[in-house]
Amino acid sequence: MPMLRTLLIVEDQHDLAELVALHLSDLAQRIHLCSDGVEALRIAAATPPDLVVLDLGLPGLDGLEVCRRLRASARYVPILMLTSRSSDAERVLGLELGADDYLVKPFNVMELVARAKAIVRRMDGLANAASDAVIRSGTLAIDPAARRVTLAGTPIALTAREFDLLLHFALHPGRVFTREQLLDTVWGGAHGGYAHTVNSHINRLRAKIETDAADPRWIQTVWGVGYRFAAAGAA
């Protein structure tokens, strides 16, 4: 893995922040630590990070608001959220705001490392596969550089994972992917054994881009195998 990376760790528990920095040191050449949301946004603006490890329970400006503001900027940065609360509603909100992954404290530090490396590996893979050209299939348009999707000219709000999933499909039209292959490529292999995660993301993605989710135009089920992006059928 290339070392020319910048990592931003936003955590108000100093000892935990130092521990995270120590274990993720092989991912980045530069690591910034800060303990509040305002400082995190200042650092991100001055030195755009390649990965943000973001605690939700920050003093002042909380992690959800930091995530929201980072996602409003033009440059996309992967975000791994940390929280001491295991509320499903909070987890869903964080992911809807654009977090790439989510860990509940206390967590196993090796799992944190695996998740962070998976995010970096996934972003590298998508960056290498995608060009700056907008991908068009019928009325669906996918802009890899801006990470934006429109349907008949109307912007479609996707989570980070939903966008990566759609982009992966669109980059390989007609190819059938098993759930395990999608987990390995789009999720980066950090969620092995959770094939149902793919199903739920496919369902949410279809609900956002398909007119009839029961008879999808783009993301089609190949029974007994997996899914494919039916670009030819979208023309």
Contact 95, 164 (CB under 8 A): no
CB neighbours of 145 closer than 8 A, spacing ≥ 6?
130, 132
What beta strand segments (E) does the chain contain?
Answer: 6-10, 30-34, 51-55, 79-83, 101-104, 135-137, 140-143, 148-151, 154-156, 176-177, 219-222, 226-229
User: Could you tell me the pTM of the whole model?
Assistant: 0.69
Tokens of 197: 């995660």
Tokens of 107: 């967590």
Q: Tens of pLDDT along 77-99?
A: 899 999 876 666 676 777 777 78
Per-residue pLDDT for 152 more than 80?
A: yes
* Furthest CA-CA distance within the chain: 55
Lowest-confidence pick of 45-59, 131-145, 220-234 = 220-234
Beta strands 135-137 and 51-55 are unpaired
Q: Tens of pLDDT along 189-212?
A: 655 556 777 888 899 999 999 988
